[in-house]
Amino acid sequence: MKTFYKKFSEKFIEGLLMLSGTITSLTVVLIVFFLFKEGLGVFDKKPVEEGYVIALSKSNPLKTLSSEQIKNIYDQKITHWSEIGGKPDSIILFRAEDISNFYSDEEIGENFEGLSTCINRLVDSLPDIIAFFPKKYLAKDFKGHELTVDKVSLKEFFGGKEWFPTAQPSAQLGVLPLILGTLWVSFGAILLALPLGLAAAIFMSEIAKDNVRRIMKPLIELLAGIPSVVYGFFGLVIIVPLIQKTFNLPVGETGLAGSIILGIMALPTIITISEDAMRNTPRAMKEASLALGASKWQTIYKVVIPYSISGISAGAILGIGRAIGETMAVLMVTGNAAVIPHSILEPVRTIPATIAAELGEAPNGGLHYQALFALGCILFLITLFINLAVEFISNRKQHNKH
């Protein structure tokens, strides 16, 4: 009977563990599926705000324009139709709020009941007009034609240099500045944190005395528990003014400030995991290396690090993940400027900071909302690629050692 209950309890525990693992794996898969489902929806939408139309006169031969062309027209960078394949005439810009410049309040109506008629007459009378107005004021017998705007394309999304998701009449969804800003800040943090973290882990595991290690390790682990907003305040008060003064810059909120803060935030993870991995190196292996005439440094380089490379890689991956995915601290110290950076001493804007700053204002299911989810997909792919690269390099080194 005892044997039966023992076997039953073992099977029950095995079932619970399997169920736990299945639920965890399924949750991760569902999160990724939901992220990409929402993010990829941006490529099925047009950059013009939902519920609005852009219309031309019936005599205008143009039928379709890109988002960038519409923006340049309303920014008056394009002033003649001939610049985009039309007639050699000046472009007349019109928005719904401009209607009072053409018609009286009596014609428009107290409750805008005559607005659709006025817009219809205006578009018909001005052959060079481009009109942007709510679709509900599009007359049934409209004498112009609605302009076809291209859907958001992969080329515009990844190659665009301007991020203005709420711009009217046409949103600009170029994520190139955000990707470059994320890479600038993240790689700067990695270059700072990895050597320092590995050096600190080697010191604590192989060189420091026990009483020194007992003091240092809790202090380093305490750094991981500090809220990111506190790191942000530290960066604003100490790092930003220091960078501004050292490099004689107009502002100190730069990619370098973000890299330093993220490097500091990643250090506890890298140090703690790497140090634990190094301390698990069998004592016999180290003693054998020393007995063969190797110095202490040679033993660390040739025995300890290769043996613990998987743990060091895990620490590096978790540290890098912390750096790439951080939001609040980066938002506070990088200047938050969505422009293409040419050096690490310029203000930048990262993908996580953009999502954190804008998601609360994006209408659920709208173009801006889905564009932010698409940014989340890009961030996921960047993190995945870096993790795979670190794993590949560490496995290759381990293979070469054998």
Predicted confidence (pLDDT) per residue in 86-124, tens digit: 888 899 999 999 999 999 988 999 888 899 999 999 999
Report percent pLDDT > 90 for the chain: 44
pLDDT greater at residue 400 or residue 70: 70
Whole-angstrom distance, CA of residue 77 vs CA of residue 204: 61
Tell me the residue length of the chain: 402
* CB atoms inside a 10 Å sphere around CB 335: 21
Q: How do residues 240-280 score in pLDDT, each as one tens digit?
A: 999 999 999 998 999 999 999 999 999 998 999 899 889 88
Mean pLDDT across the chain: 88
Averaged over 356-376, what is the pLDDT?
91
Q: Give the model's pLDDT for residue 286.
A: 87
Strands, sheet with 52-57, edge to edge from the N-terminal-most edge strand: 92-95, 129-134, 52-57, 144-146
pLDDT of 304 > 70? The answer is yes
Indicate the pLDDT class of residue 374, thresholds 50, 70 and 90.
very high
As a whole number of angstroms, the distance between CA 386 and CA 155 comes to 23
Confidence of residue 399 (pLDDT cuts 50, 70, 90): low
Asked if 382 and 324 touch (Cβ cutoff 8 Å), the reply is yes
Q: Break the chain into its structural domains and give their ranges.
A: 52-153, 176-401
pLDDT of residue 134: 92
pLDDT tens, 382-396? 888 877 877 776 666
Q: Are 150 and 46 in contact (CB under 8 A)?
A: yes
DSSP class of residue 80?
B
Is the pLDDT assigned to residue 1 strictly greater than 70? no
Query: Please, is 262 exposed, middle or buried when counting C-beta atoms within 10 Å of its C-beta (0-12, 13-18, 19+)?
Result: buried
Q: Which amino acid is at 111?
A: N
Neighbours of 10 (CB within 10 A): 10
pLDDT band for 55, please (50, 70, 90 cuts).
very high
Looking at mean pLDDT, say which of 9-13, 19-23, 312-316 comes out highest: 19-23
- Exposure on the CB side of residue 83, measured as CA atoms within 13 A: 11
Distance from C-alpha of 48 to C-alpha of 70, rounded to nearest angstrom: 10
Q: Which CATH superfamily is domain 52-153 in?
A: Periplasmic binding protein-like II (3.40.190.10)
Q: Cα 202 to the chain's mean position, in Å? A: 33
pLDDT band for 398, please (50, 70, 90 cuts).
low
- Whose CA is closest to 51, among 169, 135, 132? 135
Residue 402 has pLDDT above 70, yes or no: no
Rounded to whole angstroms, the Cα distance separating 263 from 392 reads 23
3-state secondary structure of 28: helix
Is the confidence at residue 5, as pLDDT, over 80? Answer: no
pLDDT, residue 369, reads: 93
For residue 82, report the phi and psi dihedrals to the nearest 5 degrees.
Answer: -65, -20
Given phi > 0 = left and psi -120 to 50 = alpha, else beta, which region is 222? Answer: alpha
β partners of residue 165: none
User: Domain 176-401 maps to which CATH number in 1.10.3720.10, 3.40.640.10, 3.30.43.10, 1.10.1840.10?
Assistant: 1.10.3720.10
Segment 270-285, tens digit of pLDDT: 999 899 889 888 888 8
State how far the Cα of 39 lies from the Cα of 372, in Å rounded to an integer: 7
* Interhelix angle 367-401/2-40, nearest 10 degrees: 120
